[in-house]
Each structure stands twice: as structure tokens, then as C-alpha cells.
Structure 1
Amino acid sequence: MRDALVAHARQSIVRGSKSFAAASRLFDPATRERVWLLYAWCRRCDDIADAQDHGGTLGAQDGGEESFAKIRTLTARAFAGEATGDPAFDALGVVARETGLTPAMAEDVIAGFALDAADWHPRSEADLMRYCWHVAGAVGVMMAVVMGVAPDDEDTLDRACDLGLAFQLANIARDLAEDDAAARCYLPAEWLAEHDIPPGEQMKPPYRATMARLAARLCERAQAHRCSARIGAARLAPRQRWAILAAAGIYGEIAVEVARRGAKAWDSRTVVGKGRKIAWIGKAAAQALLPVPRHCHADAEARRFTRRDLIAMTRPL
């Protein structure tokens, strides 16, 4: 059964994230399979919440509460060791038993789907970052545990969270038009108000230039968290470090390209081609052998929020 779940998970990551699939091949075999198993659960939860297939076109968003309840129920069954009837949730049960992932870790992720189910929108940058923590930073923490990081190694887990935050900020910048088409906006309302952009009109032509500047702001935030993640990656085993640096480079290029394209960033989806992925895999191999550059330490200090900051926030979203 495990072999079948691993095969399903491999297909899921190949379909759902070519960038992460490429980076995952760099892990040692045992870690690679466990990363695939965890990814399959994350991808399936996201697809259920968004009524989509492996990150494709968003479906109808009128069944949010039912979708959220399904995610929570199947996840609980997976942790209880029960068959769920869904290979992605069964995959979570397997990797949890093998690595010590806990229901509390999964609940941090599920809370992000609850926000989408409630048609939530961020008011402030702090709100945005707490959302990113739930849907991506908490995934980074789970991935770190899968790679063998001790659950009490708080600083390394903080930096694993930072990689997830960087990925999500880049995704938000890239997908502003796609999210707008589904009546979603993850830019803080305060940012839009600063520029007198009416709610729901942010992607209309008169505001494209301003939206490009706000997207660049997201990409700048992503850079700080990516540098922090690189510091944490230096503590991992060599092959794990290589894989994480490759993923960080590939996703980092998405952010760089969105910022470079400016107002044209949403004329077509920003992607990193196969050649550039291969180039980043090679560059990451060199980075894995070298000390973390000084500028990364300085850039990491520019983070406005750390994982512990985000967890400590008590104001409801």
C-alpha cells in the first residue's frame, strides 16, 4: 500500500508543481518519498478548498464550508490511522507515522483553508503574513520535520517557515489576476487604500501600474524571507540543503520575474522554464558547498515578521 501511495504522490507533485518536483529529486530516496507524501496531502487540501485539479483553474467557490469540513474530517482520520478512501490523506497518515508529524502541525495549515472558506480578506500586512503562515509557512515547518529537523529546534523551524512565506508571497504576486477572477484578493486592504484603489477593481487597467508596484513590494518581502531560509538550509544534510536551495532559487526567480515584468506581469502566467530550473539546480549545488553570504544575513534581518511573531498574534483575522 505504501508503494502505491508513493506512486500516487509522485504523480501529484509532477502535475501540481513542476518546480518543486524538480527540486525534490535532489533529496535522498527516503526523504524524497516522504516529501512527496506530504506534498500530496497539501495539494489535495488546496484542490478541495479551491475546487480545482492540481492547481488548475479555480472552480465555483460556493461550497467553502463543506470543503473545509471535508479537509478536517479526512485529516483527523489519517492521523488516527484509519483508511480515508482518498490516497492523499492516506499518504499523510503514512508520513505522520514515519516522522512524528502531529495533528497540531496539520491544524496550523488547515486554519488557512478555513480563512478561504470564510471568504476572508486581509486588512493589514500582519493579516497577510498570518495567512501566509497558515497556508505555506506551516507547511515549511512540516517539511522540515519530514527532513529530520527536531520539533524543538525553534530557530531552524522559523527559517523553514520563512521559505514557505517566501514561496507564498511570490505566488500571490504572480496570481493577482487569477485570484481576482475568482473574487479573491490577498493584498492588504490598507495597501489598496494607500493608493485609492477601490475594492474589487484592483486589476482594472487604470490601476495596473500601481498594482505592479505593490507586487514588487510583495517580492521584496519574499526576498527577506528567502535569505532567512538560506541560513536555515545550511544546517541540513548536504542533499537536503541542495534540494532546498534549488527550490528557493526557482521560486525566487518567479518573484524576480514578476517584479521585472511590471504592469505586464499578468498578461501571461510567469513560469520558470526547464532550462532555468536546471541552471538553478546546478547553482544550488555550488551554494550548498559555500558559506551563507553576508548579504543574506543582512537581508534576513529585514523581515518584518517571524514565525514566532505570527503565532503570538492574538487578534482574530
Structure 2
Amino acid sequence: MAVRHADAADHAACREAIRTGSRSFYAASALLPASVRRPAYGLYAFCRLSDDAVDDVAPRDRAAAVVRLSNRLARIYAGQPMEGAADRALADIVMDYAIPQTLPAALIEGLAWDAQGRGYETLCDLTAYAARVAASVGAMMTLIMGVRDPHVLARACDLGLAMQFTNIARDVGEDARAGRLYLPLAWLREAGIDPDVFLAGPVLTPPLEGVIARLLAVADGLYSRSEAGTGGLPLACRPAIRAARLIYAEIGRDIERAGHDAIGRRARVPGRRKAVLMARASLPLGSDLLLEEPAVPEIAFLLEAVAAQAPDVARSRPAWWNVPGQFVRVLDLIEVLREREAFTSEVGSPAAP
């Protein structure tokens, strides 16, 4: 019998890390069956804490933080995780679901690019970055759901890319004030914007609004492609993934309604609106005509890594989703989130996505 590393306290800690770190994922994950929700919390906790490990240190210390992350990942795959709930949880997850090391290593590589302060000249360059920090996570989530079909994996990666592009569009001002710029540099120059001048004093202008709108349009195309992959997931998992897609796409709609102002405000999706979108996630899926669309070239290495590592034992798919009981829990959760958002608005605390 394989050695287990994580215990109930570790799983609870991972759940708490996501509850406080990402309201959008936490809300959508309530629709997942318990057999998938627990490893999903473990995976996202490791991803979240990895991002914080690099982002929350001084710039001069970030390269060393990336090295420490790589060492932690090596220990996880050696079956000797370091102390920490997320590390122990991920050690079990990668073993249980035959997740190739290339996938979480890609995430860490993307964080290394952040540590280097790398800029992205073209959309292809930005897509290569998003493939590492977001599409890799989408692929790992799909494996946790028991699906290894390359077409479904490609559409999951599309969803990860779309979410990352939405995040970039939402955080243009916040990132610029921190000295970071993720918008394609060539797009900025085409719009008459000098990237260095913009970083020195980020302001909203009509040309910048056009660049943000352009990135959101790319994200929308990827959201449309990703929908076809949802039908390839177990029935029990489809509402949660569709809810995540709808909620993140709604962030883009909020940016649009504000005139593409991502400098002076941070787009958000209120709790009531999340509840509506989560209810919509249970409706029948649309066409799967885009399921076999060619994968975005920048995510090919992720698909190849999965194809090269077959699972030792085929895992059973989650049981049928209990619609009435699940929605009662979800609506209760939404009400809690709504009350928390109202409280944070009163005290002036920034809201997570």
C-alpha cells in the first residue's frame, strides 16, 4: 500500500488557504463532488502558496525563492515532501492521479519568469507565460477529475489561458504600480503607448482601453473553445468548471461596463451575481463542435507530458451529482460570501476575485 503523507488537518489547512485566497474558485469548487474537491483544494493551495512564496519577498530574493520551490517539488515527487500541508497534500495527489512533474514544474517556471521581471513582446510570448502559470493548473485539475483525453485537456488549457488573460486585464493598474507589465508590448507600441512611460505613471487613456479590450476579446474566444471540453468531464464535475468559466468571464464584462478602466478600479463579481452564474452552470451544455480544435501551440508540451505518463491504476469517476442537496449548500455559501463582501466594503479591505 502506498505511503500517505497528508492527514485531515493538512486537508483542512488547504481548504482554508483557498477560502481566504480565492473566493471565485472557492465558490465554484462547492459544486465539485467531495472526491474531487479535496484534491482540488490541495492542488490550488500549493499553487497559491507557491505564487505567494515568490511574490511576497523582496525582488532581490525571488530567484532564491524559485530555487526553493523547485527543491520542494523535487522532494514531493521523491515521496519525501517538506513540512507543510500543501506539500504533503500534493505528494499524495501527484501519485494518486499520475500527474507528470512537467506540469507543476511549468508553474514554477512561470513564477521564475515573474521573478526575472520578464516582459512579453507578442501575444504568443504572453500565451507561453499563461501556459505555465494557468494552463498547467487546468491540465492538473482535469487529471484529478479522472480525464486524460487530449482534446478535453486542450480545452481545459484554453480555460486556464482565458482566466489568466482576464486576470491580466483586470490587474493592469495594480501590476503597473508594482512595476510589472503583462500586456503585449507590441500591442502597446501599436497603440502609441510607450511601455516605460506607462509604467512610470499608469493612467487610463483611450489607446490603453483598446489594448485591454483586445486582450479580453482573445480571452472570450478561448472561453468559447473551452466550453466544448466541459462535456468530456464527469457529469459530477461539469457544473463547477462551467461556474468557474462563467464567473471569470463576468470579470471581463465588469471591466467592459466600466469603460475598460483597469487602472483606477478593480473589477469584481458580487456575491448575488455569482449565485446567478452558478445556477446557470447547471443548465445543459452547448455544442461540442470545437472539442477537436487544434491545441494552442504553447500548451503542446503539457499535453505531451500527460500522454507520456499513463496512470498505474484507472481511477473511478465521481458519483452522480446530487443537484438539490448541492445547491442548498452552494446558496448558503453564496450568502456567506455576500455578507463578507459587504463587511469588507465597509472597512475598505480589497476584495479577492
The TM-score range, normalised by the shorter chain, is 0.7 to 0.9
Percent identity over paired residues: 34
CA distance in 2, matches of 1:205, 1:65: 27
CA distance in 2, matches of 1:115, 1:70: 15
Residue aligning to 1:315: none
Residue aligning to 1:283: 280
Residue aligning to 1:292: 287
The correspondence for 1:94, drawn from 85, 92, 95, is: 92
Seen in structure 2, the aligned counterparts of structure 1 residues 308 and 76 have a Cα distance that, compared at 3 Å, is same
Residue aligning to 1:222: 219
Greater Cα radius of gyration, structure 1 or 2: 2
Stretches of structure 1 lacking an aligned partner (at least 5 in a row): 52-58, 313-317
Seen in structure 2, the aligned counterparts of structure 1 residues 293 and 267 have a Cα distance that, compared at 3 Å, is farther
CA distance in 1, matches of 2:182, 2:295: 19
Is 1:50 aligned with 2:46? no
Shift of 1:261: 1.3
Residue aligning to 2:343: none
Aligned to 2:112, the other structure's residue is in SS state helix
The correspondence for 1:184, drawn from 180, 185, 199, is: 180
Asked if structure 1 preserves the Cα contact closer than 8 Å seen for 2:231 and 2:285, the reply is no
Q: Cα deviation per residue 1:289-315 (whole Å; 9 max; x = unaligned)?
A: 343387xx49x97xxx83444447xxx
Q: Cα deviation per residue 1:204-233 (whole Å; 9 max; x = unaligned)?
A: 466522211111111111111111111000
Residue aligning to 2:83: 85
Residue aligning to 2:193: 197
Seen in structure 2, the aligned counterparts of structure 1 residues 306 and 202 have a Cα distance that, compared at 3 Å, is farther
Aligned to 2:82, the other structure's residue is in SS state coil
Asked if structure 2 preserves the Cα contact closer than 8 Å seen for 1:174 and 1:255, the reply is yes
Residue identity opposite 2:295 in structure 1: T
CA distance in 1, matches of 2:260, 2:275: 28
Residue aligning to 2:331: none
The correspondence for 1:167, drawn from 160, 163, 168, is: 163
Off by >3 Å, runs of 4+ in structure 1: 203-207, 305-312
CA distance in 2, matches of 1:168, 1:43: 14
The correspondence for 2:30, drawn from 25, 30, 38, is: 25
Aligned to 2:258, the other structure's residue is in SS state helix
Residue identity opposite 1:273 in structure 2: P
Seen in structure 2, the aligned counterparts of structure 1 residues 310 and 83 have a Cα distance that, compared at 3 Å, is closer
Q: Cα deviation per residue 1:37-87 (whole Å; 9 max; x = unaligned)?
A: 100011011111111xxxxxxx63231211111111111111111131122
Asked if structure 1 preserves the Cα contact closer than 8 Å seen for 2:131 and 2:298, the reply is no
CA distance in 1, matches of 2:89, 2:140: 14
Aligned to 1:272, the other structure's residue is in SS state coil
Residue identity opposite 1:217 in structure 2: R
User: How many residues are treated as equivalent by the alignment?
Assistant: 295
Higher relative contact order at CA 8 Å, sep ≥6: structure 1 or structure 2? Answer: 2
Shift of 1:193: 1.1
TM-score when scaled to structure 2?
0.79
The correspondence for 1:255, drawn from 239, 249, 252, is: 252
Shift of 1:196: 2.2
Is 1:145 aligned with 2:135? no
CA distance in 1, matches of 2:202, 2:106: 37
